[in-house]
Amino acid sequence: MLKFVSLSREMPEKRAADDRAHDFSEIYRDYAREKAADQAARCSQCGVPFCQTHCPLHNNIPDWLKLTAEGRLREAYELSQQTNTFPEICGRICPQDRLCEGNCVIEQSGHGTVTIGSIEKYLTDLAFEEGWVAPITPLSERPESVGIIGAGPAGLAAADSLRRMGFQVTVYDRYDRGGGLLTYGIPGFKLEKPVVMQRNAQLEEGGVTFVKNCDVGADMGFDEIRRIHEAVLIATGVYKSRDIGGPGSGLAGIVQAIDYLTASNRKGFGDAVPAFDSGELNAEGKRVVVVGGGDTAMDCVRTAVRQGAVSVKCLYRRDKANMPGSMREVSNAEEEGVEFVWLTAPKGFTGDETVTGVKAARMRLGAPDATGRQMPEPVPGSDFTEPCDLAIKALGFEPEELMRLWDVEGLEVTRWGTVKADFRSHATSLPGVYAAGDIVRGASLVVWAIRDGREAADAIAGYLSSAAKVAAE
């Protein structure tokens, strides 16, 4: 260990921008075994590992880095998966630059962070290749049944944990494939879909029942699900897109990010997507403008490049230093030809029947708000129009009105519309009903959803075990 003084940080080889911009394959190649060991050996084995502290799952990062450096790769994998249900997914899409790697001690000392995410991805991919990923086999079966609404990362993490404990688990989801935004929201160049599908297959083979194409509230009532199961977990995520109005906001050619990305991912699966084939949700040959500065906006601009857009621009109301998206993603997008128009806010759209441009104003950063973040304010007389043939609104997501959609009474929600749940147990105001993931905390990171799902599973297991004990007495 401690090789950071003699070895520099080295990421896996990144495919050239001109090469990767024409397909949806992941942009980073795999580590070789020796390279993974060398990079893991750069860990300083801190007495207080900030990387572990700043990981929402509190993964035992220094320990499995040490095992990797020693060539004990199966042990390293087994240790990494003890705290993380989907390490191969987190290794690919977690913003390590803001979490574990961003808090690496040797990074703070100027030596360059340990490449934690890439090593995590390497270990789990190797585990699948070598057959080290054990099937889900409970030691004993439990009669209690748990219904999980939503097959995103929170729901799947909870399903995995509960099934390993022996509970009978049924997952209800509106889509025809499990994974939620992992499947239909995140593009393949960040997360290739076989990676998600192999986890879905593991859960099904382990005894988890999936009820797909099931829109709760329309195809099946929430009360009916409660009657079937002893406990229910709400893990629907947040799918309602934030919107902007203004003149021309109803023109053709203005689309929501979730619709655009879902169409692209479905096309990658080989599904029939009429809105893509017609050009409505296809950037080929178009001037594209994406409004927003988060990771969803980065997914949209990089997808548009791969679809063959003539030009791709991203409008964001703050500067580069203050954007919420991953800096690594911004860098990748810039390499692929995306142009960022910083300090720019949309005011409306131009066009007769179809959009021809985004009306915008230049911004400057003014006084800080209550959080200390500088608020953008318009520069007088700075209005301009950015020409486009396709405008994509990537402004984030809000929760759907579950109480109205599901016709349920007594389920408390916050003033933001998220489900109100205890921050430790994830219990809601309804007995036997729990909630986890983005539907509780708002649009957030996959790693937080995994943590919430695992915690909720433990709470549900405790609740059902207590109920069984009372019934036995």
Residue type, 256: Q
Nearest Cα neighbor of 414 from 445, 387, 435 is: 435
- Residue-level pLDDT at 116: 95
Structural domains of the chain in order of their starting residue, each with its CATH number? 3-130 (1.10.1060.10), 145-238+399-472 (3.50.50.60), 241-396 (3.50.50.60)
- Residue-level pLDDT at 473: 65
- Residue-level pLDDT at 371: 79
Q: How open is the CA angle 244-248-254, to the nearest 5 degrees?
A: 65
Structure tokens at 91: 């290794």
Q: How open is the CA angle 57-63-69, to the nearest 5 degrees?
A: 130
| HSE, side-chain direction, 13 A CA sphere, residue 303 | 34
Exposed, middle or buried, 209 (CB in 10 Å: 0-12/13-18/19+)?
middle
Give the C-alpha separation, 258 to 246, whole Å.
20
Neighbours of 473 (CB within 10 A): 5
- Residue-level pLDDT at 471: 74
- Residue-level pLDDT at 8: 85
Give the C-alpha separation, 104 to 80, whole Å.
18
| Dihedral Cα 99, 105, 109, 114, nearest 10 deg | -70
- Residue-level pLDDT at 425: 95
Structure tokens at 402: 């579950």
Task: Identify whether the C-beta of residue 246 lies closer than 8 Å to the C-beta of residue 393.
Answer: no
User: 3-class SS at 47?
Assistant: coil
* Low-confidence spans in the chain with pLDDT less than 70: 473
Neighbours of 257 (CB within 10 A): 25
Task: Identify whether the C-beta of residue 315 lies closer than 8 Å to the C-beta of residue 291.
Answer: yes
